[in-house]
Amino acid sequence: MGFLEIYIRVVDATNTAIGKVVAWLTLGTVVTCFATVYFRYALDSGFIWMQEAYVWQHAIVFLIGAGYTLLYGGHVRVDIFYARMTARNQARVEIFGTFAFMMPFLWVMFDKAWPFFVTSFVGDEGAQQPDGISNVWILKSMLVWFCVLLGAQGLATVARSVLFLNGRSDYAPAKTSH
């Protein structure tokens, strides 16, 4: 097994494991949101940390679940032309799209997210509201993890396309459904 195949397996396994954990956070988000509303309107009470918790959970689902979503074809794609292309041309589009669009976006985002996170971490940024969730750097670190996990999955997509273009039919681009 070559380097590209090992890389694909490691990244796919990592994003799959993260995606399965993050899926449970969607349930946590719903339960926490329901509890917040219940406490506020049924018991005339509320907790700021609870309101922040479901916002944090929701953000984490989208940020670190992005690699999993890419792996399983859940991102929005304009399929007007792509779906009608041959598998070889689809692989070429995957390579081009990843390097021309995804990687520059992730580079800019990482370039802005890293100092945003570091400043928060070094300053031990606390909650904006009294009784809110402290250690805001944890939430801000999710922007960095978003770039790392989505970027790694994007490179795994490129590796899969390169292997396919070099004769490995088992790495053919997945068929899109309509």
More confident residue, 46 or 152: 152
Q: What per-residue confidence (pLDDT) applies to 123?
A: 92
Residues in Cβ contact with 103 at an 8 Å cutoff, skipping those fewer than 6 apart: 151, 154
Q: How confident is the model at residue 176 (pLDDT cuts 50, 70, 90)?
A: low
Any long-range contacts for 101-106 (C-beta under 8 Å, 24+ apart)?
102/150, 102/151, 102/154, 103/151, 103/154, 106/147, 106/150, 106/151, 106/154
Do residues 154 and 3 lie in contact, with contact meaning Cβ atoms separated by under 8 Å?
A: no
Asked which of 23-27, 29-33, 110-114, 169-173 is least confident by mean pLDDT, the reply is 169-173
Q: What per-residue confidence (pLDDT) applies to 178?
A: 39
Q: How far is CA 108 from CA 33, 122, 141, in A?
A: 33, 22, 15
Do residues 105 and 132 lie in contact, with contact meaning Cβ atoms separated by under 8 Å?
A: no
Q: How confident is the model at residue 175 (pLDDT cuts 50, 70, 90)?
A: low
> For residue 40, which amino acid is it?
R
Question: Can you tell me which residue has the tokens 């292309």?
Answer: 85
Crossing angle between the packed helical segments 136-165 and 103-122, to the nearest 10 degrees:
160
Domain residue extents for the chain: 3-171
pTM above 0.75, yes or no: yes
Summarised one tens digit per residue, pLDDT across range 32-42 is 999 999 999 99
Summarised one tens digit per residue, pLDDT across range 55-99 is 999 999 999 999 999 999 887 777 788 888 899 999 999 999 999
Q: Dihedrals φ, ψ of 119, to 5°?
A: -60, -45
Please state, rounded to an integer, the average pLDDT across all residues of the chain.
91
Q: What would the mean pLDDT of 42-50 be, rounded to a whole number?
A: 88
Q: What per-residue confidence (pLDDT) applies to 6?
A: 95
Summarised one tens digit per residue, pLDDT across range 118-132 is 999 999 888 888 888
Instruction: Answer whether residue 113 shows pLDDT above 90.
Output: yes
